[in-house]
Structure 1
Amino acid sequence: MKDGRVVLITGCSTGIGRELCEVLFNAGHKVVATARNADSLKDLSASLKLFLDVTKEESIHEAINEVVSRFHKIDILVNNAGYSMRGALEEIDVKLARDMFDVNVFGIIQMVQAVVPEMRKQKSGKIINIGSISGKFTQPINGAYCASKFAVEALSDALRLELHSNNIQVTVIEPGPMNTNFFKTLDNNSNALTSDANSYYARFYESDASNMKKQKLAESKKAAKTISDIIMKGRLNARYQVAVPFSYNMITHFPDSLKEYILKNR
């Protein structure tokens, strides 16, 4: 693929998606920024800005048709849309968990189903799935979100096997905690549950909140530049860790017994 590639990115309202748009656009690529809240894209540097809800098939196809009509191809798909909720599995609202999976997991599948036929026509393409280091090891009070990101790992591996003969590369990016609106959204989705003093898990929630405040958050601009460099590699690896603290990276390699001992004490 030559410079000026057409890059479609989901979830560009804030955070990594937004920063990635800026980096890639400034590098000379044709960036299609999408979000459920199209108004949030007004001051964003992009070649095309579209409303797109990854949970709605009609919305996806309208956006894809607009991109293909304008640029005649899609070189790179970045599945970035996603969010989190927190809480013990015994207590979480299952409907809210389903809604999260609809975005984090099924949204990726629906985007892939819409975009891959276009990539197959041009006999090349890249699919970049934004996962999380939480897709590599599970933390208590975070089981539902971790499960959604474990699913992203599995989807990426399956796609890589299914699409290799079409010269379509697939990778999963595993970011660590970053300084974005991610945690604000997390609080909005979970605060009613995790602040309940009468919950059986109240002390776990308190400890979890304390540990989250101690986290060192990476700068999203720097992480976006790293992800951009990865995307533009000639040959992609299966997965990449980005802005992952050393301790998190280490724990992913520990045997289950040691991993669980550390997390139980934490």
Structure 2
Amino acid sequence: MKNEIVVLITGCSTGIGRELCNILSQKGCMVVATARNVETLKDLPASLKLPLDVTQKESIQKTINRVISKFHKIDILVNNAGYSLRGALEEIDINSSKNMFDVNVFGIINMIQAVVPEMRKKQYGKIINIGSISGKFVQSINGAYCASKFAVEALSDTLRLELHNYNIQSTVIEPGPMKTNFFNTLVDNSSDVMGNPNSCYSHFYKSDDKYRKKQKQADPKLAAQAISDIILKKRLNARYKVAVSFLYKIVIYFPDFLREYFMKKR
């Protein structure tokens, strides 16, 4: 086999993961596309398409074994699988929140534990964690999701400290809102809570719904192109913002009282 770059991507059924598969394949990478339902990948131009549930270690190990058997290495891991649900912390369903953390946070740890030993054997690798601009500042009724993405920031920073001796790099991508199925899934996951007209937080829910309908969202293809360029860099920075509005870039650097004032007014 030629010395192609082998890239394993989680959560490729829609959105950024799907677009990354297309772009990286066009750039000559050996792309391993994965999703819980492998049927959603049938029209992707990937070198290998495998079922993968990042919350199940048995599923992960089967996937890793298949990849190593075929390519003998994993150069880049893109932890892209993730989703969101909304609701005030007082009302949000705890079990639903745990399930989200299982994917958004512990799913990343599961993948790290399975892939890093293979990267260490080669003394080379890159771990790309897809976080969110919501991992930099919080919004009302989005606390659980923001918390999961704050955790992704910490995981990425920790990896750089722990793995630098093995020539394994880590970074976190912090995308802004994009035109994908992300928000449709969010609505489906949160309808029971946010659709309650008797909730004392109903004004937040109505305001959020109105805001999201007029919110500017980036083209996922352009965002994926930017992410693919980052992934293939020789040396990675600690973090990258992708498809983030100028206003949100500024808000990150506001002092706490000013950022909270802005978010309350929003």
TM-score of the two chains, using structure 1 as the length reference: 0.99
> Residue 171 of structure 1 contacts residue 236 of structure 1 at CA under 8 Å; is this kept in 2?
yes
Match for 2:150: what amino acid?
Answer: F
Aligned counterparts of 1:191 and 1:214: Cα–Cα separation in 2:
19
Q: Which residue of 1 aligns with 2:198?
A: 198
Alignment of 1:65-214 (within 5 A): 65-214=65-214
Aligned to 2:245: 245
SS of residue in 1 equivalent to 2:34: strand
CA distance in 2, matches of 1:172, 1:258: 26
Q: Kindly, what percent of the aligned residue pairs are identical?
A: 69
Q: Aligned letter for 1:203?
A: H
Per-residue CA distance 1:89-141 (angstroms, 9 max, x = gap): 00000000000000000000000000000000000000000000000000011
Write the deviation string for residues 170-222 of structure 1: whole angstroms up to 9, x where unpaired: 00000000000000100100012111111110111001111111210100000
Is residue 254 of structure 1 aligned with residue 237 of structure 2? no
| Partner deviation per Cα, 1:16-46 (whole Å, 9 max, x = no partner) | 0000000000111000000001110001110
Secondary structure of the residue aligned to 1:208 is helix
The one-letter amino acid of 2:167's match is N
Aligned to 1:87, the other structure's residue is in SS state coil
Residue 3 (structure 1) shift: 6.3
Cα distance in structure 2, aligned partners of 1:64 and 1:44: 20
**Deviation digits for residues 225-250 of structure 1, max 9, x if unmatched?**
00000000110000000000111111
Structure 2: which 5+ runs fail to align? none
User: Partner amino acid for 1:36?
Assistant: R
* 1:64 and 2:64 correspond: yes
Q: What RMSD over aligned residues (CA atoms) do the two structures have, in Å? A: 0.8
User: Which one-letter code corresponds to 2:81 in the other structure?
Assistant: A
* SS of equivalent to 1:191: helix
Q: TM-score, normalised on structure 2? A: 0.99
* Letter aligned with residue 265 of structure 1: K
